[in-house]
Amino acid sequence: MTKRGTVSTNNIILTFDSTDLPSEIRVGYVKVRVRPFVPAPMRCFRCQRFGHTKDNCRGRPTCSKCASQDHTDETCDSETPRCVNCGEGQTPHSAYDRSCPAYVKEKEIMTIKATRNLPFKEAREVYNQSHPKTSYAQKEALRRGEEERKAREARRARLVQKALEAKEASSADSASGSRKQGARAAAGGSALPDLRSQEEVQTFFLQEVQLGEELLAQGNMEDGVEHLCNAVAVCHQPQQLLQVLQQTVPPQVFQLLLQRLPLAGQRLAASAAAKESASITEDDVE
């Protein structure tokens, strides 16, 4: 048996007068392992389709590099490969690429045919049963899911940006400033961002917990505790969160967290007051 028709290998193709293959055979005094022979998928060098040869082809000549029917492989100058078997939405590849999804499919069918002793048609049916086609509705659901995931990531990025802007704008002034500055820091803490929906609250909560844990792992206890305080301030069940934190963070960190919690509550109240003040201001303008 040769590789690509020219390179000799250590494999020998044998034909047994039985459908049950032995696990091994003896060649002299040597035991040789036996495995089913799976031939490569048959691809036409004329139309580049699978399942027939050039001599039996009725299709139009097609370039194997770019899938064009206006020229052949020898005269192709396209820089972007395209497979005639894979249709739209494919990653750039040629028809003879071994990673081509159509080639991989045909190879699996040939494997089923060889290992189960099935005719080609039945082997294809077995493959189709284990690889159902994706319907249009399923594709749309996948597309919508991907869009929703990107939207969540964008909202999370906006919340992170809001938190960073609020922290940069914090100062030693208390929350008793003007209504335009109602969301400024209280007693040295950072203002909470303007959370307009339950989803934004949940995203901000998860972000603050993650940032707090990362900062504590880096040894930055002050900033880590500040982010955990923000998480507790917006949490609907703060007592349960505190019980979890008491079991997971070092005692000195938990004590500092308890000391900072009143400040987190003040920041939450300041943010709510700022939101209410902004609403009142808009009503006055109207």
Give pTM, 2 decimals.
0.45
What pLDDT does residue 215 have?
A: 84
Burial 97-126 (b: 16+ CB within 10 A, else e): beebebbebbbbbbebbbeeeeeeeebbeb
What pLDDT does residue 177 have?
A: 44
How many Å apart are CA 203 and CA 148, to the nearest integer? 14
Q: How many CB atoms lie within 10 A of CB 211?
A: 19
Could you give the C-alpha distances from 45 to 95, 101, 123, in angstroms and in order? 10, 18, 24
Q: Torsion over CA of 271, 275, 276 and 279, rounded to 10 degrees? A: 170
Tens of pLDDT, residue by residue over 151-190, are 877 766 666 666 555 555 544 443 444 333 333 333 344 5
Tens of pLDDT, residue by residue over 207-243, are 888 888 888 888 888 888 888 888 887 777 777 777 7
What pLDDT does residue 163 have?
A: 56
**275 against 129, higher pLDDT:** 129
- On the 0-12 / 13-18 / 19+ scale of CB atoms within 10 A, 233 is buried
Six-digit token string for 1:
């048996």
The residue type at 91? T
How many Å apart are CA 83 and CA 99, to the nearest integer? 11
- Evaluate whether 19 touches 29 at the Cβ level (below 8 Å): no
Average pLDDT of the chain is 77
Would you list the domain boundaries of the chain?
2-33, 141-280
Domain 141-280 carries which CATH code? Answer: 1.20.960.10
Alpha helices in the chain (DSSP H): 101-116, 120-130, 136-168, 198-217, 221-234, 238-248, 251-285
- Evaluate whether 267 touches 258 at the Cβ level (below 8 Å): no
Tens of pLDDT, residue by residue over 85-129, are 987 777 899 999 999 999 999 999 999 999 898 999 999 999 998
Q: Is the model's pLDDT at 263 over the cut of 90?
A: no
Q: List the beta bridge partners of residue 2.
A: 8
The DSSP secondary-structure symbol of 44 reads: -
What pLDDT does residue 210 have?
A: 82
Label the pairing between strands 2-3 and 7-8: antiparallel
- Evaluate whether 156 touches 208 at the Cβ level (below 8 Å): no
